[in-house]
Amino acid sequence: MPKPGIFVTRNIPQPALDRLEEVFSLSIHASDQAITRAQLLAAVKESEALLCLLTDTIDRELLDAAPKLKCVSNLAVGYNNIDLEYASSRNIVVCNTPGVLTESTADLTWALLLACARRVVEGDSFVRAGRFEGWGPMLMLGVDVFAKTIGIIGMGRIGSAVARRAEGFGMKVLWFDPLIDPQTVSAKYERTDLRHLCASSDFISIHAPLTPATRHLINAELLALMRPHTVLVNTARGPIVNEAALIEALRDNGIFAAGLDVFEHEPEIPAELLAQDNAVLLPHIGSASVETRTKMALMAAENAIAVIQGTEPPARVN
């Protein structure tokens, strides 16, 4: 019997490709650049499985271009790039890669938080520009982290991993998450509403999924509740924050700094944001370690294999 066909939309770690080839006839957009929409529409015509990325829009048009599709395996924990409802109506199984990227993403969140608090990136640029003329009592003052309060928006796997790290910094942890059963969250952490979290936290970190309810959740009104020493970190999805309102808050010193791994219209970043010294900007690398990306790719491969073999995949979302 011929092997079923899978299309992989970009170069991914080799162990996952090797594993896929055991089961599938593999086609790949063998590039580190995103596939174009036209290429993707043409590539999935005969595919029974699709291994795609968060940068690929898997909407109704794309799914209709793939009449034989049984599985969409997303190489990401977030799946807001996929029309889940339409996929479900077509009995297409959608899978993601939860769990394996939790700790890496929590680590990167802390890298951003600390970089913002202590002006690490600004300091590095200052030194490289030849502007360092010696120690100064007023030079590049940041804000302390130890024993402060962190507010976590979204207390799932990644939010909880960020909270665990905060304990090492002697921090008080506040959290907001309307979707989670409070019984599943440690009583050491204080559940609160979003307004109180914004007004009372020295550091705010976002770990919610992007849904219609969380789009622009952090808006001008909530930013106005934050204080001039507050640091906002977003490693979840850009559109959760109203970027125009955030730029204003950064420009007017309404908050101290923002650490952003994600952007509202990725990969476009407004010039006004690029111009802010009090923003640390990263190219969506929350899970980008060799170990984690390999685990994610292998999990995405196992998801697709399980669906095609008629068994339960490690992580299905519909």
Binding site for ligand GLV (CB under 6 A): 54, 76-78, 101, 286-287
DSSP 264-279: TBTTB--HHHHT-TTE
Provide, rounded to whole angstroms, the least separation between the CB of residue 209 and ligand GLV: 9
Q: Which is nearer to ligand GLV, 81 or 230 (CB)?
A: 81
- Is 118 catalytic? The answer is no
Q: Which is nearer to ligand GLV, 208 or 218 (CB)?
A: 208
Residue 102 burial (C-beta neighbours within 10 Å; 0-12, 13-18, 19+)? buried
Residue 43 burial (C-beta neighbours within 10 Å; 0-12, 13-18, 19+)? buried
Q: Tokens for 200, please give them.
A: 């009372």
Nearest to 105, CA basis, from 42, 164, 47? 164
- Segment 56-64 long-range contacts (CB within 8 Å, at least 24 positions apart): 56/9, 56/81, 57/81, 58/82, 58/83, 58/87, 59/83, 59/86, 60/86, 63/87, 63/90, 63/92
Q: Which is nearer to ligand GLV, 69 or 76 (CB)?
A: 76
Provide, rounded to whole angstroms, the least separation between the CB of residue 190 and ligand GLV: 27
- Is 221 catalytic? The answer is no
Provide, rounded to whole angstroms, the least separation between the CB of residue 11 and ligand GLV: 17
Provide, rounded to whole angstroms, the least separation between the CB of residue 82 and ligand GLV: 11
From the list 29, 119, 207, 284, the catalytic residue is 284
From the list 46, 190, 248, 266, the catalytic residue is 266
Instruction: Check the CA dihedral 248-254-257-263 and report its sign.
Output: negative
Q: How far is CA 145 from the centre of its chain?
A: 23
Q: Which is nearer to ligand GLV, 4 or 286 (CB)?
A: 286
Task: Answer for the pair 87, 79: CB distance below 8 angstroms, yes or no.
Answer: no
Q: Which is nearer to ligand GLV, 142 or 286 (CB)?
A: 286
From the list 237, 264, 293, 302, the catalytic residue is 237
Q: Which is nearer to ligand GLV, 9 or 278 (CB)?
A: 9
Task: Answer for the pair 8, 25: CB distance below 8 angstroms, yes or no.
Answer: no
Provide, rounded to whole angstroms, the least separation between the CB of residue 117 and ligand GLV: 23
Provide, rounded to whole angstroms, the least separation between the CB of residue 255 and ligand GLV: 23
- Is 248 catalytic? The answer is no
Q: How far apart are CA 221 and CA 237, in angstroms?
A: 19
Q: How far apart are CA 105 and CA 207, in angstroms?
A: 10
Q: Tokens for 238, please give them.
A: 């850009």
Q: How far apart are CA 223 and CA 199, in angstroms?
A: 9
Active site residues: 237, 266, 284
